[in-house]
């Protein structure tokens, strides 16, 4: 979208934030004249299109070149490629249909020492290119067969043998999701980009290349919504609500009554779901996976550290296994007090103002160290977690994680490597007393613009400021200015 924005700002294309497929009469006449002059009258055919989605954003004209006679525009390769795509799609939309002949060629092996089956090829022959003359990339993967005559001899050039298996449907990409929405008469919402950014940031999906993969958390959230709010996430509800809003805009429906009819039942449903248990259940475990304690069946559950098998009788039975089938044991007491909260402190009996405190019968809980199993292996922490967040670290391992760069916030700690839900980051060794953190390894240099730490960047940006509000966070853009 940023590349398209640059083309629009330079005056090369019309406004690009639209789903419209309509062309103005002036633009259409200009395109038809260009097609006749460049390709011939047989390629000219005025076309009018209608959007498939009734909720499409059509306040503007379709995206097209502002001057169709300009075959190439753009300040860099990305802009040139995008302009070429827009130009080809716009011009080809006002051209004659392509004429293809679907055909099958069958070859018979003759005069062979042994019996051979017939060889056949399914494909098509192009009789008239039409709009494919301009948009050649749209010809797809269909096999184009040469023109042959019945009885014509064919010569074998190469013979290969390979097996084919039925493949499952491909996963969605962002473009694929838009097409799916349109096929269901919903259309792309104006907040589509921010919605996609939100579900990625919350860890509901992972984006690998252009493909979207649901995470365990995403599957749990999806199942919860389908089970408890099926009416509100259905295609018919969204399309129906759009129709009602259109009726309000035309004065055919009362605004306040429509909102009351929706919000009354909806708010009631939300309040009822507040009493539901936390959604962590992801279905039944394999039948041969039994509880290590009571031998009951198990279910798949989702925790902070990922999926695991839990006893179906939880909380009466706390048996658990990893997905590999290994038994998960609870925290093991190491018999040592927590250095932070496990040592009793003598109480003076006075409050912070120096006044005598009221006597309490409550005995303070003292923490002790326990061995836990985490996402990245075993670690030692306080038994009172999360009230006490003390974690014991191996001194040798801790030294390896130190960056050697002093924390600029507290001036006492050192920036060290840590691992979080989004991967490796660097923060002060005095955490949680000092919560200074940056996304990448500090270089030790100080930003000349805001005095924040400089950190490692990418191949194209070797070093950049750790403060994302500082212009030096994107020095590549700074240099262009």
Give the distance, in angstroms, between the CA of residue 204 and the centroid of all CA atoms in the same chain.
8
Residue 55 CB coordination number (10 Å): 20
C-beta contacts of 64-67 below 8 A and 24+ residues apart? 64/13, 64/14, 64/23, 64/27, 64/90, 65/12, 65/13, 65/90, 66/11, 66/12, 66/13, 66/14, 67/12
The pLDDT score that the predictor gives to residue 405 is 92
DSSP string, 90-147: HHHTTBPPPEEEEEEEEE---S-SS--PPEEEEEEEEEE-GGGGT-GGGGTTPPBPPP
82 versus 236: which is more confidently predicted? 82
pTM over the 0.75 mark: no
Taking Cα atoms as reference points, which of 383, 436, 439 lies closest to residue 414? 436
pLDDT confidence of residue 66: 92
Q: Tell me if domain 2-92 and domain 174-273 are identical in fold.
A: no
Angle between helices 255-273 and 235-249 (to 10 degrees): 150
> Which of 46-60, 172-186, 288-302, 390-404 bottoms out in mean pLDDT, i.e. has the lowest?
46-60
Split at pLDDT 50, 70, 90, the class of 466 is very high
For residue 347, is pLDDT > 80? no
Token pair for residue 291? Answer: 């509880």
Confidence of residue 55 (pLDDT cuts 50, 70, 90): low
Q: What tens digit of pLDDT does each residue of 294-334 get? A: 989 998 887 766 788 889 888 888 888 888 888 877 788 88
Q: Check 15, 49, 255, 263 and give the catalytic one.
A: 15
Q: Does residue 42 surpass a pLDDT of 90?
A: yes
Distance from chain centroid for Cα 334: 42
Mean pLDDT over residues 266-279, rounded? Answer: 79
Residue 166 has pLDDT above 60, yes or no: yes
Q: 10 or 276, which is more confident?
A: 10
Q: What pLDDT does residue 303 have?
A: 76
Share of the chain above pLDDT 90, in %: 18
The mean pLDDT of 9-34, rounded to a whole number, is 88
Residues 88 and 82: their CA atoms lie apart, in Å, by 10
pLDDT of residue 96: 92
Per-residue pLDDT reduced to its tens digit, 355-409: 666 555 444 678 888 888 776 667 888 988 878 888 887 777 788 889 999 999 9
* 15 belongs to the catalytic site: yes
Kindly tell me if the per-residue pLDDT of 454 is higher than 90. yes
Name the residue ranges covered by the structural domains of the chain: 2-92, 99-139, 174-273, 402-480
CA distance 476 to 481: 9
Q: Which residue, 99, 84, 69, is CA-closest to 7?
A: 84
Which listed CATH number (2.60.120.920, 1.10.1040.10, 3.40.605.10, 1.10.290.10) goes with 2-92? 1.10.290.10
Greater model confidence, 154 or 190: 154
Q: Which CATH superfamily is domain 174-273 in?
A: Topoisomerase I, domain 2 (1.10.460.10)
pLDDT tens across 75-91, in order? 888 999 999 999 999 99
The pLDDT value given to residue 351: 63
pLDDT of residue 279: 65
21-30 average pLDDT score:
89
Where does the pLDDT of residue 428 fall: very low under 50, low under 70, confident under 90, or very high at 90 and above?
very high
Highest average pLDDT, of 87-96, 224-233, 238-247, 357-366, comes from 87-96
The per-residue pLDDT of the chain, averaged, comes to 83
Residue 468: pLDDT band (50, 70, 90) is confident
Contact 92, 54 (CB under 8 A): no
Which of 50-54, 108-112, 392-396, 420-424 is predicted with the least confidence, judged by mean pLDDT? 50-54
pLDDT score at 201:
85
Confidence at residue 95, expressed as pLDDT on a 0 to 100 scale: 92
Q: Across the strands, what pairs with 205?
A: 214
């Amino acid at each position: 979208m940023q590349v398209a924005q640059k083309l629009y700002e330079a005056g090369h294309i019309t406004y690009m934030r639209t789903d419209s497929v309509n062309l103005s009469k002036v633009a259409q006449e200009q395109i038809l004249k260009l097609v006749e002059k460049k390709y011939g009258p047989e390629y000219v055919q005025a076309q009018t299109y209608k959007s498939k989605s009734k909720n499409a954003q059509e306040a503007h004209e379709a995206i097209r070149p502002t001057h169709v006679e300009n075959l190439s525009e753009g300040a860099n390769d990305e802009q040139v490629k995008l302009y070429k795509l827009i130009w080809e799609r716009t011009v080809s939309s006002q051209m004659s249909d392509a004429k293809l002949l679907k055909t099958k060629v069958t070859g018979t092996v003759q005069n062979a020492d042994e019996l051979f089956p017939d060889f056949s090829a399914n494909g098509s022959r192009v009789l008239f290119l039409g709009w494919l003359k301009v948009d050649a990339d749209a010809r797809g993967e269909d096999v184009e067969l040469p023109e042959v005559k019945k009885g014509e001899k064919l010569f074998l050039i190469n013979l290969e043998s390979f097996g084919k298996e039925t493949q499952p449907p491909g996963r969605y990409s962002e473009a694929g999701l838009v097409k799916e929405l349109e096929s269901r008469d919903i259309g792309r919402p104006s907040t589509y980009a921010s919605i996609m950014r939100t579900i990625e940031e919350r860890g509901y999906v992972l984006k690998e290349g252009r493909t979207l993969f649901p995470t365990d958390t995403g599957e749990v959230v999806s199942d919860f919504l389908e089970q408890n709010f099926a009416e509100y996430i259905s295609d018919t509800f969204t399309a129906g609500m759009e129709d009602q809003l259109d009726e309000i805009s035309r004065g055919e429906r009362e605004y306040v009554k429509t909102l009351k009819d929706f919000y009354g039942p909806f708010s009631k449903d939300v309040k009822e779901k507040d009493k539901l248990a936390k959604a962590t259940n992801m279905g039944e475990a394999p039948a041969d996976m039994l509880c290590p304690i009571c031998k009951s069946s198990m279910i798949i559950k989702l925790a902070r550290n990922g999926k695991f098998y839990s006893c179906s009788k939880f909380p009466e039975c706390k048996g658990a296994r990893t997905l590999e089938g290994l038994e998960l044991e609870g925290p093991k007491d190491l018999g040592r007090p927590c250095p932070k909260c496990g040592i009793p402190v003598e109480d003076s009996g006075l409050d912070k103002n120096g006044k005598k405190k009221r006597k309490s019968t409550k005995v303070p809980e003292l923490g002790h160290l326990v061995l836990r199993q985490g996402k990245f292996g075993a670690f030692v922490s306080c038994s009172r977690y999360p009230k006490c967040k003390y974690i014991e670290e191996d001194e040798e391992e801790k030294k390896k994680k130190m960056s050697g760069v002093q924390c600029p916030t507290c001036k006492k700690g050192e920036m060290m490597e840590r691992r979080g839900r989004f991967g490796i980051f660097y923060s002060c060794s005095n955490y949680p007393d000092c919560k200074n953190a940056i996304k990448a390894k500090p270089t030790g240099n100080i930003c000349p613009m805001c005095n924040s730490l400089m950190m490692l960047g990418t191949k194209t940006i070797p070093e950049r400021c750790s403060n994302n509000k500082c212009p030096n966070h994107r020095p590549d853009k700074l240099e262009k200015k």
